[in-house]
A and B are shown apart, each in its own frame.
Chain A
Amino acid sequence: MDNQEIMQKVLKILGPYAKNKEALNNANETTNILKDLEVNSSRLVDIILALEDEFDIEIDDSEADKVQTVGAAIELIKKKVG
């Protein structure tokens, strides 16, 4: 799975939670999930769980904390998927 494919899936997961749809449409790897996409921080757990389900991986607390940007999510997924 290449970066682009992973990014599409990540953005699809983030979509319903992103209040800033314009930022979502223009998202790239440096896009900050909370600040740019304006995702409610209470929903981060749901996003992490959705990533786990989509990619069939497990993400622990410390790893979840580091997922601040779209790029960080992609890197983590690539690392887990291999």
Chain B
Amino acid sequence: MQVQKVLGNIAFFILGNLVVFYFKYIKKYKINQIKELRKFYKNIIKKNKPLLICPNHLTMVDSALIQWALGSIWFYLFRFDKFPWNIPAKENVEKSVLFRIITYLTKCILIDRNGSKEHKDRIVQELAYLLTKKEPICIFIEGTRSPTGKLLEEQINYGAGQLAYDIPETEILIIYFRGKNQTQKSDFPKKNEEFFVRYNLIKPQYHSKGFRAHREITLQILQELKNFENEYFSFYK
């Protein structure tokens, strides 16, 4: 991972600018209140605590959009350690050599969703290690893009809860990020999309231990996302 990070940092100026150019000038995406969110993120990372970022999941490029929303290219160039790690599904990346290179250089750890327990445990260990090093990690608790356009409650996994439980002082930045025209899942948001963004930073609260605590924490994240989703639908109904 250290090698991956160094190579990613070197490639970042070109890769990052290409991605932002594509989002801003080709797709013409607009993120509402981006300055406020970036300031919020900077204040969080000043605390230098382990940080999980838990957004909702509707498009294939949600991670990249959220990375763009949280920081500018110049910010990440000098603080590449605060460019969040991601955990994309292996099957979505392996199809293309280009995708594999891009995901390698952009701090992605590939997970095989149908993989063995040993594989998944190894991924959790790697993520736990990164958290202890105060490197932020983006985890979609839904585990997959929602086909219905609503939060996939029946699919949520407790990986984020487990990490927050295992690594002391972990804080969780919950982000609801959605285009105003995004009705269901897609590869990319539509061109000219304008994004609704709501976010909150929580310190996990739990009264139990082990698996129950993992679930308790994850359900807190889910509740925050549900509150934001309700706000989104009342905003755009």
Contacts and interface: CB of A to CB of B under 8 A. Distances in A.
Interface stretch (B42-50, B76-84, B153-161): B153-161
Interface residues of A, number: 9
A42 B117 contact: no
Interface stretch (A23-31, A45-53, A73-81): A45-53
Interface SS, B side: helix
A14 to B, nearest CB: 15
Contacts, number: 19
A2 interface: no
Interface string A62-77: 0011000000000000
B158 A40 contact: no
Interface SS, A side: helix
B117 A65 contact: yes
Contact of A45 (B117, B143, B158): B158
Given A42-B143, A65-B117, A49 B156 contact: no
Nearest to A48: B211
Contacts of B57: none
A45 B165 CA distance: 15
B113 to A, nearest CB: 9
A49 B154 contact: no
A43 B215 CA distance: 11
Contacts of B178: none
Contacts of B155: 40, 42
A64 B210 CA distance: 12
B49 to A, nearest CB: 26
Given A42-B158, A64-B211, 5 more contacts: A42-B155, A45-B158, A45-B211, A48-B211, A65-B117
13 contacts: A42-B143, A42-B155, A42-B156, A43-B154, A45-B158, A45-B214, A45-B215, A46-B215, A48-B211, A49-B211, A49-B212, A49-B215, A65-B117
Interface of A: 40, 42-43, 45-46, 48-49, 64-65
